[in-house]
Each structure stands twice: as structure tokens, then as C-alpha cells.
């Protein structure tokens, strides 16, 4: 039979057709049937087996910089808060000392201001044992009286990445009467 047509192929039935009335509607024309060869199946299985550790490696490489940025952000926030707390404590102590000295400047400037002016409570987050130096002074120069407060606080970083585990925060505030 030289003029006969090639044998008809059986139609490819996709799972959505055989699933029944609850199956999602298929678009027309139906997708072409693809038959996987042995080499295509074996390549996909072996390719997946070779990629199993790649996701873990990518996660580790990407997560490390993000974790360092996250921890660095927390540390810098703690440091900035502590600097602000030390500065506000020094300013409050200076105001308290100015009020004490201002009421009788001639006699009170000669007394020990550290014993006379009691320290108010530290701001939240500051530890009293880390307050290394707290000095109050009063200097007279003619009719000008200069009241000064010096505070030094030891700050310790929780994460010591670059060898700067501890630093000192100093604040010197002064005001003339």
C-alpha cells in the first residue's frame, strides 16, 4: 500500500481530562504530549541529587552578611542610646549642681560638690558599676563662676568583631553663672 496514510496515533489524555467534572477547564488546543526518554529522566533525577546541597550553601552564604548587619545594627543602636543617656545624665547633673551653687555661690563653690550634690538615678540601661568617673567642679575667676561636670562611662559591646570590645564614653558639661 503505497498510497495509504500512516497509522493514526492515539490521543494523549492529560490528567485534567480524566479527573472528571471537578477538574479545571483545559484550554484549547490541548498541550502536546511529550514522552520522556530514558536519558531525560535520568538526567533530571541525577541533576536533582547533585543540587541538594546548593540551597544550603546559598543560604549560608547569604545569611551570614545579613546576620552580621542585623547584629551590627543592634550594637550600634545600643551604643547610640548609651551615649545619649550619658549625655542627658551629665546635663541633668550639671543643672542640679548649678541650682545648688547658684543659691550661695560664694560659700558653696568652696565645698566638695561631689558630696554635697547627690546623684540622681541613672537613666534606664546604664549600670552604676560601669560609671568610672563622675567629677563636679566649681572655679571662680573674678565675678564669673564656672561649674563643670565630667562623666566617663565604660561601654562593652556584646559582639566583639573587630577587637573593640570596650570603649569609654566621656561627657564634659560646663556652664557659667
Strand order in the sheet with 144-156: 131-141, 144-156, 166-176
pTM of the model: 0.63
Partner residues linked to 133 by β-bridges = 152
d(CA 117, CA 122): 14
DSSP letter (8 states) at residue 124: T
List per-residue pLDDT tens for the chain, 177 residues long.
566 666 665 555 555 444 455 555 555 665 666 655 555 555 555 566 666 677 788 888 899 999 989 988 999 999 999 999 999 988 888 888 888 887 777 777 777 777 777 767 888 888 888 888 788 888 878 778 888 888 999 999 887 767 778 889 999 888 887
Peptide bond into 171 cis (omega under 30): no
Amino acid at each position: 500500500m503505497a498510497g495509504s496514510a500512516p497509522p493514526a496515533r492515539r490521543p494523549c489524555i492529560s490528567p485534567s481530562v480524566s479527573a472528571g467534572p471537578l477538574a479545571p477547564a483545559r484550554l484549547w488546543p490541548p498541550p502536546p504530549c511529550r514522552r520522556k526518554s530514558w536519558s531525560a529522566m535520568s538526567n533530571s533525577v541525577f541533576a536533582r541529587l547533585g543540587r541538594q546541597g546548593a540551597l544550603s550553601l546559598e543560604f549560608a552564604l547569604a545569611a551570614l552578611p545579613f546576620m552580621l548587619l542585623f547584629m551590627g545594627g543592634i550594637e550600634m543602636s545600643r551604643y547610640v542610646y548609651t551615649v545619649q543617656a550619658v549625655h542627658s545624665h551629665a546635663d541633668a547633673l550639671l543643672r542640679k549642681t548649678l541650682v545648688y551653687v547658684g543659691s550661695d555661690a560664694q560659700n558653696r563653690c568652696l565645698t566638695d560638690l561631689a558630696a554635697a550634690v547627690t546623684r540622681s538615678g541613672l537613666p534606664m540601661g546604664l549600670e552604676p558599676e560601669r560609671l568610672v568617673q563622675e567629677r563636679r567642679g566649681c572655679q571662680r575667676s573674678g565675678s564669673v563662676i564656672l561649674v563643670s561636670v565630667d562623666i566617663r562611662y565604660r561601654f562593652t559591646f556584646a559582639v566583639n568583631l573587630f577587637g573593640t570590645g570596650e570603649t569609654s564614653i566621656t561627657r564634659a558639661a560646663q556652664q557659667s553663672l
